[in-house]
Amino acid sequence: MTPIVQHWCDGKAFAGDSTATAPVTNPATGVVTGEVALASEGDARTVIAAAADAFPAWRDTSLAKRTAVLFRFRELLNERKQELAAIITAEHGKVLSDALGEISRGQEVVEFACGIPHLLKGGYTENASTNVDIHSVHQPLGPVGIISPFNFPAMVPMWFFPIAIAAGNTVVVKPSEKDPSASIWLAELWKEAGLPDGVFNVLQGDKTAVDELLTNKAIKAISFVGSTPIAQYVYATATAAGKRVQALGGAKNHAIILPDADLDLAADAMVNAGFGSAGERCMAISVAVAVGDIADELVAKITERARTIVTGDGTHNSDMGPLVTKAHRDRVAGYVDAGEKAGATVVLDGRDVDADGGADGFWLGPTLFDHVTPDMSIYTDEIFGPVLSVVRVESYDQALALINDNPYGNGTAIFTNDGGAARRFGNEVEVGMVGINVPIPVPMAYYSFGGWKASLFGDSHAHGTEGIHFFTRTKAITTRWLDPSHGGLNLGFPQNA
């Protein structure tokens, strides 16, 4: 009997009524290690109802008590993150150091949320009109849904739920079916930290579970990270149901390398940002735009470094793990086939990598293309694998136009020693997150994370002050204490005096 990863409802594991499951596989071996429950509509409603029932008491819990739970959760997470990293590696495939890195970045949002009392302060105006005072408060929305992707099973949920919970909301997390166990581990940690039952819940499943979150009237807001087509669907469906939505979509991140750049630094950055986590990052650099006559040297330096990458089991001394599923591995390999047929130069071919891992693992090594043109599918599509394309252009203006003409606008970078060029790029580029000699410009938790154009549907980015805004509603309260002898009828519109 293979173990079944269940839901988490009202402070305990919940099997649900549905008998449907999906396999959970170790990508480094190809072995099915368990099954994950796929919720029925009724199962989803049970989990959502637990969040709704828990909301009034958690909303009314003092900020002092809420932050005490947040601090305890942060300490437990810090003490035991090696356990969580091992779970992520076993189900996602990324190497342990990378798994620890994603947990640490998620923990930064927990730490940010520990300061929620200051962040939730409203305003107060005394005597705005004669003997009339006005103050504002930020109140929680209610139960909220978080639909997270496979590539960051810990960090992406932690972009949202620490702030949501700290602000007084209750949460239902719907993790990816590919790596569902991290969310259950986090639920158990919340319980150990003293979070009341029903405040943090986990709903396993597929489209049935997602659709119930998007349409159930008890859920007041949806946070989503995934591909652009699904982000569009989530946004359209949930907003039609009257919910707030932040739906972060796909990416095609470019890095411009100017002729004056330090090419060793740029080559290191392209390898790290292009092949880290097997390219399964929404902030991965997938296009290196070489400006002027530096392309040959840049490609040679990237190739030299990429050849040293050890692809293998994430629990070994590997640099890069497998892709998450066999189907995804084959899809990425199909793009490599297409790029070769389209006429791009295959400088480094990862299709036949000799991996340090199981014979049935989902392996594809670092792949580098040169002489890529914007009409090729390896340029236009989000591949989400270890495939880096080099596009050659003559000028900065041509490079900038490539980025601004692209439908995605998630992240970008420029490598240069020219401060004027860097400042101009930061001003002119139409992308939400920009790096200057920084290849993966993921901001700290006190800044917002999010892209532009087809990389975001909705008005609010993740975490930072935008996260506070997203998970609260502002209420303005106008107060007057009257002398009992003063009164009278006045049907006119209220005027300030």
* Nearest-angstrom CA–CA distance, 418 and 181: 46
| Candidate list 28, 110, 172, 282, residue with the active-site label | 282
191: alpha, beta or left, given left = phi > 0 and alpha = psi -120 to 50?
A: alpha
Query: What values do phi and psi take at 446, rounded to 5?
Result: -85, 0
Measuring CA to CA, which residue among 170, 113, 168, 166 is closest to residue 144?
A: 170
Provide the b/e sequence for 156-175 (b: ≥16 CB within 10 Å).
Answer: bbbbbbbbbbbbbbbbbbbb
DSSP per position, 263-324: HHHHHHHHHHHHHGGGG--TT-EEEEEEEGGGHHHHHHHHHHHHTTPPBB-TTSS-SB---S
Specify the 3-state DSSP secondary structure of 219: coil
Q: Is 114 an annotated catalytic residue?
A: no
263 contacts 298 by C-beta, under 8 angstroms: yes
3-state class of 235 per DSSP? helix
Exposed e or buried b per residue across 266-278, where buried means at least 16 C-beta atoms within 10 angstroms of its C-beta? bbebbbebbbbbb
For residue 463, is it left (φ>0), alpha (ψ between -120 and 50) or beta?
A: left
Find the helix or strand (DSSP H, E) in which 139 lies. Answer: strand 132-140
Q: Which residues contact 401 (CB under 8 A, 6 or more apart)?
A: none
What does the alpha-carbon distance between residue 12 and residue 401 come to, in Å, rounded to a whole number? 52
Q: From residue 352, give the alpha-carbon distance in Å to each of 65, 311, 336.
A: 55, 11, 12
Number of CB atoms found within 10 A of residue 423's CB = 11
In degrees and rounded to multiples of 5, residue 246 shows phi and psi of -125, 110
Residues 385 and 140: their CA atoms lie apart, in Å, by: 38
CB 108 within 8 A of CB 454: no
In the block, residue with structure tokens 């029903």:
198
Q: Please list the active-site residues.
A: 282
